[in-house]
Each structure stands twice: as structure tokens, then as C-alpha cells.
Amino acid sequence: MANEQTQHLTLSELDRDGAIREAVEQVSGDTRARFLGKAVLGSAALLGAVATPASADAAAASDVAILNYALTLEYLQSAFYTETERLGAIRGELKRVPRQLGAVERAHVRAIKAALGTAAARSPAFDFRGVTEDQTKFLKTAVAFEDLAAAAYKAQAARIRSPELLAAAISIHSVEARHAAWMRFLAGVTPAATAFDEGKPISEVKAIVASTHFVTAQPKMTSAKKPKYTG
Amino acid sequence: MERPRTLARAFGVAAAAILAAVIAVLVSSRSTASSSAADGVQDLPASPASALRVPAPTVLSGPAAAHWASVRHAVSARASPSETARLVAPLAATTPEGTANIVLVLGRARDRAGRLWVHVRLPVLPNDQTGWVPRQALGVYGVVETHLVIDLQRLTATLLRNGRPIFQAPIGAGRPEWPTPRGDFYIRDRLTRYKSAFYGPLAFGTSARSSVLTDWPGGGFIGIHGTSAPDLLPGRVSHGCVRLRNRDILELGRSMPVGTPVTIR
């Protein structure tokens, strides 16, 4: 765990030149007022910002962007397994998969959101288009998601500036890799076909996620129109 | 008999001592070998602690009360999971209020071609109808843990979460000539910030429809809303809608999401 002193620092205390804020706005579209409010980063990456503001702030900004990127992928995985478990349409040997993996992905979401505080990107809506109700498609997608998550974390690892955050990312990465191996085994695919894995850059990951059409807008549920109910 | 037993015990103690000495020598030599092998490796600093407080895996709290799905595009609901089954009702992608049209998910099945169909509750007349639509015509799934029960005898509205009551208030229901329909329905949308004292500060649209006021603007849907005449509650005073005092509808609005199943009995 990070030093206790670094656990409850607010970004407004540390964001002296606005570098972190700009990065977060770039990633999450957050507003200055909201961002500077109460965001609390447990990351010891911010300890550096206290010591040497200019360079450390930039490093922390980059780490915040990477954390939000990781959070978005975790939202996707978490929603996928949670919906599958809730719908209960997956049977047999695969039935325990969404329960076990969903619990872990939800824990990842909670941990990263807690670290980012109000700087955390919001979850989009997901339309899994029947994949969470189809045995074969579910397993194929689980293999793809776990491979993708492991490759995405791997690609960002070398860019993480904070050793503490890198330790956290690696601890999640290895879990994603274990999930990938398990899903590959269930799908009859060799768990580790190569001696060295390649990471996937963010552009490639975004293109793959976009190709699924799973990410969508929240349906409009409210309106300011005057009611026409019978009264 | 006593002497042989003592002798045996003495032999046992001696054997144990010899065995312990052999193990000690082996462990000592292995430890020395290990130290020798590690001699070429420099001491390294301890790894940094993780920046995240990772909680334990988070299990789901319990079964959901219901699932809803948005209608992605206009589609015909059918009596069974088949393209050739009888047409029950058309479903639009939006409501008369301009919100996404949603349906309550009741189940699923595949047709002979392996196509996935979803069994849904429909916002159509006659009330309480269900039908089947292809999964590809539906969009986002949502989940709710709440259930609203309207009791027309006691004139109360009770909101349950995971089966436990969390809200109850007196209501106004339909007059005898414009009765509030009984059956199983769901919350379709939520209207706020409109200007109408008659409907109060908040109104929920339901999938229930008046079987009498069918030519009402918007199709005669039953709403659950506030009122400009709180003194009439509880009572049978409306055109079929469920009226609550304004403070009650606002409190209900804090706990009841769109998609909540509604039972009117």
C-alpha cells in the first residue's frame, strides 16, 4: 500500500499548473470545476508532485489518463459478465465463468474508481446484442476481452511513471492474463502459444472495441415534455 | 514385559536423534549450496507497494427484480418466437413523450433457425399482453431491484426493493367510470421540469392504458404523478392515473427507476 500520507491528497492540492486537469479533461471530458472539487488519488504517483511539481505533475497527468483508459476497459468487462450472470442464460460448464470473472472485474472497477475519485470517467451504456445470452458467442467474446485487456495493460506498462501505480497495473494485468488463459482453455485454444506477448496500442484497442458496437449511448428515459397521461 | 518395552523406547529415542542429526546436516548443506548460487545476484530493493486498494471480488447482491430492454427499431411483437407467428402489436422505438420505448423482459427462446427471440411485456391494449420480438430489434438491457404495488382497495402505493417495502403513500385512483386498470405493467419513462400544476412536479409514464379513454391524447396511458389537489387523496378521483401528493411523488422519484415493474391490484 502507498504511504498513508499520499492516500488522501486531493488533486486540487497538487494540480499546481493545471497539467493533470488538462489531461483528465482530454480523457474524460470532465469540467474544471468538477475536477478540481474533491478528486482524491490514492496513487503515490502524486507524492512526486509534491516534491518536484512541474515534471511530476506531467507524470501524474499521464498516469491519470492511463488509469481512466484502464477503467473504461474494466467497465466493459464488468458490464459484460454482470449482464451475463444476471440474465442467467449461460448454462453448463460456462455457468460459473460470469460469476467468478464478473466479481473480479467489478473489484477492478471499484479500485480504479476509488483511486481516481471524481476524475474517474463515467461508464457508457453497453448493448451486448445477444452475446450475453448465447453460449458460443459468450465464450468467444470472453476470450477476446481477456486477451484484449491483458494486451492493453501490457502496452501501457512501460508508460506508467509511478512505480506504485505500475505495481498495481501489473497485479491487474496478471489476473487478466490468467482469465485469458482460462477462457482460451475452455474455448479449446492454446492458452499461451508464444513465448513473448505483444501489447496492443490504444488505437488498436479502441478500434477493436468499436468494431463490436457494444458501446452505445444511454437510452433517453426522461423528458421535460408536458405529460399527456389520463390524469 | 517391562524391560523389553523400556529397551524399545530407548532404541526409538536414539533413532529419532540420529534422524534429526541427518536432516540437520542435509538442510545445512543445501542452505550453503543455495547461498553459493545466490552469491552472483545483487541484493535488490523491496518492490514498491501497489497504488490501489484492491477490494475483494464483488459478488452480486441478489437476484434482480426485473430486466428491461430498449426497442432499437420499430418491430412487430408476435404471439410466439417465429416470424410467421400471429402479430400481437407493433412496437415503436420511441414513446409519445419522445423517450426511448422500453419493454420488460420476461424470457427468451430460439426459433428453428437458431435466431434469438425475447419474450416481453407490451405497452398495448388490451392491457397485460405479452409478445415475442427478435433480440436484434432490442438494444440496451437494464436491471432494476424495485417493484411498485398499487392497491386499489386500500388506495396505497408501496415500493419494494429486493422484496422489502421502502416507501408507502396514499393515492388517488380512477373514478368508477374511468377505472385504473388492474394487471402487471412497468414504468416506461419519467417526466420532469414541465410546467403543469395539475400533474405536479414529477410524472412517471406506465405501460398501462385506460380501456375507456382510448382516444385520449397520447393514447390514454396511465401515469403516476403529483397533484394540484392533495386534499382529495386518498380517493377515487382521477381519470385513471395514480395521483400522489407532491412530496410523496418526489420521494418516490428518488427510489424508483424507469423499468420498475408495476402491479395494480
Is residue A174 one of the residues assigned to a domain?
yes
CA angle A111, A112, A113 (to 5 degrees): 95
- Please, which pLDDT band fits residue A8 given cuts at 50, 70 and 90? very low
- Tell me the average pLDDT across A224-228: 92
Nearest CB partner across the interface for A171, out of B50, B139, B213 = B50
- Tell me the average pLDDT across A17-44: 36
Neighbouring C-alpha atoms within 13 Å toward the C-beta of A61:
21
Q: Which fold has domain B66-144?
A: SH3 type barrels. (2.30.30)
- Tell me the average pLDDT across A164-169: 92
Domain span at A195: 61-216
Q: What is the CATH number of the domain that holds A84?
A: 1.20.1260.10
Note which residues in 133-152 of chain B have CB less than 8 A from chain A. Answer: 135-136, 139-143
Nearest in space to A147 (alpha carbons), one of A205, A225, A68, A206: A205
pLDDT of residue A24: 38
Query: What class, spelled out in words, does domain B146-264 have in CATH?
Result: mainly beta
CB B180 within 8 A of CB B242: yes
pLDDT of residue B19: 59
Higher pLDDT, B57 or B256: B256
Beta bridge mates, B149: B158, B263
Higher pLDDT, B121 or B8: B121
- Tell me the average pLDDT across A123-137: 96
Pairwise CA distance, residues A11 & B41, whole Å = 41
Contact B136 A221 (CB under 8 A): no
Q: Is B124 on the interface with A (CB under 8 A)?
A: no
- Please, which pLDDT band fits residue B248 given cuts at 50, 70 and 90? very high
- Please, which pLDDT band fits residue B13 given cuts at 50, 70 and 90? low
Lowest mean pLDDT among A217-231, B37-51, B217-231: B37-51
- Please, which pLDDT band fits residue A138 given cuts at 50, 70 and 90? very high
Q: CB within 8 A of B152, min separation 6: which ones?
A: B173, B180, B182, B264, B265
Nearest CB partner across the interface for B194, out of A44, A100, A226 = A226
pLDDT of residue B158: 98
Query: What value does the mean pLDDT of chain A take?
Result: 80
pLDDT of residue B5: 55
A178, pLDDT greater than 50:
yes
Tell me the backbone φ, ψ of residue B152, rounded to 5 degrees.
-75, -15
Share of chain A above pLDDT 70, in %: 76
pLDDT of residue A182: 97
pLDDT of residue A193: 87
Query: How do beta strands B102-110 and B146-151 pair?
Result: unpaired
Is residue A29 one of the residues assigned to a domain?
no
With CA atoms as reference, the chain A residue closest to B180 would be: A230
What are the chain A neighbours of B100 within 8 Å (beta carbons)?
219-221
Pairwise CA distance, residues A42 & A46, whole Å = 8
Cell of A140: 468467444
Is residue A81 one of the residues assigned to a domain?
yes
Q: Is B64 on the interface with A (CB under 8 A)?
A: yes
Contact B192 A102 (CB under 8 A): no
pLDDT of residue A25: 42
pLDDT of residue A231: 85
Nearest in space to B154 (alpha carbons), one of B127, B167, B166, B172: B172
A144, pLDDT greater than 80:
yes
Give the number of domains in chain A. 1
Is residue A197 one of the residues assigned to a domain?
yes
Cα B219 to the chain's mean position, in Å? 28
Q: Is B214 on the interface with A (CB under 8 A)?
A: no
DSSP E strands, A81-133: 125-126
Quick: pLDDT tens for B118-154.
Answer: 999 999 999 999 999 999 999 999 999 999 999 999 9
Pairwise CA distance, residues B189 & B101, whole Å = 8
pLDDT of residue B16: 58
Nearest CB partner across the interface for B50, out of A83, A168, A221 = A168
- Please, which pLDDT band fits residue B212 given cuts at 50, 70 and 90? confident
pLDDT of residue B23: 58
Q: What is the DSSP letter of A225?
A: S
Nearest CB partner across the interface for A111, out of B54, B70, B210 = B54
DSSP E strands, A138-221: 215-216
pLDDT of residue B38: 57
B220, pLDDT greater than 80:
yes
Domain ranges of chain B: 66-144, 146-264
Is residue A142 one of the residues assigned to a domain?
yes
